């Protein structure tokens, strides 16, 4: 906790997060072009022989990840694509920066008895997990976690609905969303991890926890800016 206490005394310039080697960063600006998406998919397949013949599936996953990141105004996006057979195995991670007053997960926690509309540095000092009763296809859980290098954060785990870009039927996906107060600012960083592979929820939950645990604020002009 000493690192977290020190972090509250300075205003960070940047953040960093580490994803596994088989993930790759996605340029969401370039991904707005179908030609660019096709090139990215071809490059991914070329570098990973197990994806041979799956160019169209890889392109679809990249397109949906880029659209999701673009809608949320993400400043960072990374994608995992494993051997794509049928549903395949894929996941997407985004980092977004918002005003603490506008973040829905903080407002949701406030409805359960905590004032999380105060400045970000005061949001997360106390609390316990707030359970949501699961149904057969739906559940949501909101609680508190301590990230090793970023301190206490609000975490929401849920199954959420998503309509594919191709107009297909609504799909259910696993989402882990971690909201981290930015020291010295009334803003938060929101780390969202999502996957359509809900049948692998326990394993993906563990993977998302490990990736999110690497998030930290630092001073480094070569990394993404915080004040956007």
Query: Mean pLDDT over all residues of the chain?
Result: 75
**Is residue 227 a part of any domain in this protein?**
no
Q: What is the pTM of this model?
A: 0.76
**Is residue 64 a part of any domain in this protein?**
yes
**Is residue 15 a part of any domain in this protein?**
no
* Domains of the chain: total: 1
Contact 82, 89 (CB under 8 A): yes
Contact 172, 165 (CB under 8 A): no
**Is residue 224 a part of any domain in this protein?**
no
Contact 227, 22 (CB under 8 A): no
Q: Which residue, among 158, 175, 72, 156, has the nearest Cα to 111 in the 3D structure?
A: 156
**Is residue 226 a part of any domain in this protein?**
no
CA distance 205 to 82: 17
**Is residue 223 a part of any domain in this protein?**
no
User: What domain range includes position 85?
Assistant: 2-8+21-218
**Is residue 213 a part of any domain in this protein?**
yes
Contact 125, 135 (CB under 8 A): no
149-192 tens-digit pLDDT = 999 999 999 888 776 666 667 778 899 999 999 888 888 999 99
H or E segment and range at residue 126: none
**Is residue 13 a part of any domain in this protein?**
no
7-36 tens-digit pLDDT = 334 567 689 999 998 888 888 777 778 888
């Amino acid at each position: 906790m000493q690192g977290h206490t020190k972090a509250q005394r300075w205003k960070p310039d940047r953040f960093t997060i580490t994803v596994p080697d088989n993930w790759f960063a996605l340029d969401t600006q370039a991904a707005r072009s179908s030609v660019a998406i096709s090139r990215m998919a071809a490059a991914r397949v070329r570098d990973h022989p197990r994806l041979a013949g799956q160019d169209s599936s890889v392109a679809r996953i990249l397109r949906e990840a880029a659209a999701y990141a673009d809608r949320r105004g993400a400043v960072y996006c990374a994608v995992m694509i494993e051997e794509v057979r049928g549903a395949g195995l894929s996941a997407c991670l985004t980092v977004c920066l918002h005003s603490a007053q506008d973040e829905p997960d903080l407002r949701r926690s406030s409805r359960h008895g905590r004032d999380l509309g105060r400045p970000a540095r005061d949001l997360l000092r106390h609390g316990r997990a707030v359970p949501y009763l699961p149904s057969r296809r739906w559940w949501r859980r909101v609680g508190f976690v301590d990230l090793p290098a970023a301190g206490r954060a609000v975490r929401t785990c849920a199954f959420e609905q998503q309509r594919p870009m191709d107009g297909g039927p609504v799909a259910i996906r696993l989402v882990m969303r971690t909201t981290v107060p930015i020291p010295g600012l009334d803003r938060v960083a929101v780390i969202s991890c999502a996957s359509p592979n809900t049948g692998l929820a326990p394993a993906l939950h563990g993977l998302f926890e490990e990736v999110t645990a690497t998030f930290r604020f630092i001073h480094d002009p070569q990394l993404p800016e915080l004040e956007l």
